[in-house]
C-alpha cells in the first residue's frame, strides 16, 4: 500500500504512480531484477513503489529511496516505507536534488559511516519526463 502526497505537491509529479514503477515492481516481484543481498538506490522515487517492492520481495541488504528534497514528499515516502517494511534498519529515505553531490546518498549505502557503492539503481519514474534530461 502506498499513499499519495497532498495536492499542492502535484507540480512535482510525486502524486502519481507511473506505469514504469508498476512494471519495475512486477520485475522485482518476479525476480527478474535480483535484489537479494544488494544495496539498492531508487532515484526519483515518487510514491516509492519500486523501493517497497524491493524491500518486500527482494531480500536486499539496504534500500535507499530518494526524491526531491521536500519535507512533505519525503514524509509520504517515509510513511510508505514504514507501513510496508517494518524493519527500519533495512531502508532509508533521503532527499536528493539532481545535479548535486551524491555524497549523502553514498553514505547511506553501507553500515560503516563511509561512502559505499550501490549495487542496483532503480530509475522507473525518471524516464517518462524527457524534458528534464540534458
Residue 39, domain member (yes or no): yes
Confirm whether 11 is domain-assigned. no
Task: Say if 2 falls within a structural domain.
Answer: no
- Answer yes or no: is 52 within a domain: yes
Tell me whether residue 3 is exposed, middle or buried, using C-beta atoms within 10 angstroms of its C-beta: 0 to 12, 13 to 18, 19 or more.
exposed
By residue range, what is the domain housing residue 117? 16-127
Among residues 72, 71, 54, the alpha carbon closest in space to that of 63 is found at: 54
3-state DSSP of 81-104: HHHHCCCCCCEEEEECCCCCCCHH
pLDDT band, residue 12 (cuts 50/70/90):
low
Give the pairing of strands 120-122 and 62-67: unpaired
Residue 5 binned pLDDT confidence (cut-offs 50, 70, 90): low
pTM: 0.85
Higher per-residue pLDDT: 129 or 113: 113
Across the range 85-94, mean pLDDT stands at 92
Q: Is residue 7 part of a domain?
A: no
Residue 3, pLDDT score: 57
User: How many independent structural domains does the chain possess?
Assistant: 1
Residue at 1 is within a domain: no
**Lookup: cell for 4:** 499519495
Of 36-50, 83-97, 119-133, the poorest mean pLDDT is in 119-133
Task: Supply the DSSP symbol for 2.
Answer: -
In a domain, 97, yes or no: yes
- Domain with residue 120: its CATH number is 3.40.50.150
The answer to whether residue 104 sits within a structural domain is yes
Amino acid at each position: 500500500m502506498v499513499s499519495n502526497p497532498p495536492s499542492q505537491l502535484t507540480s512535482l509529479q510525486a502524486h502519481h504512480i507511473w506505469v514504469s514503477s508498476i512494471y519495475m515492481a512486477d520485475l522485482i516481484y518476479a525476480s527478474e531484477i535480483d535484489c537479494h543481498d544488494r544495496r539498492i538506490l531508487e532515484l526519483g522515487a515518487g510514491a516509492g513503489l519500486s523501493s517497497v517492492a524491493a524491500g518486500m520481495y527482494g531480500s536486499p541488504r539496504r534500500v535507499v529511496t530518494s526524491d526531491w528534497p521536500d519535507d512533505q514528499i519525503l514524509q509520504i515516502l517515509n510513511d510508505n516505507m514504514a507501513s510496508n517494511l517494518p524493519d527500519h534498519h533495512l531502508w532509508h529515505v533521503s532527499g536528493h536534488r539532481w545535479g548535486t553531490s551524491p555524497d549523502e546518498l553514498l553514505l547511506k549505502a553501507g553500515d560503516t559511516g563511509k561512502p559505499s557503492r550501490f549495487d542496483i539503481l532503480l530509475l522507473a519514474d525518471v524516464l517518462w519526463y524527457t524534458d528534464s534530461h540534458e
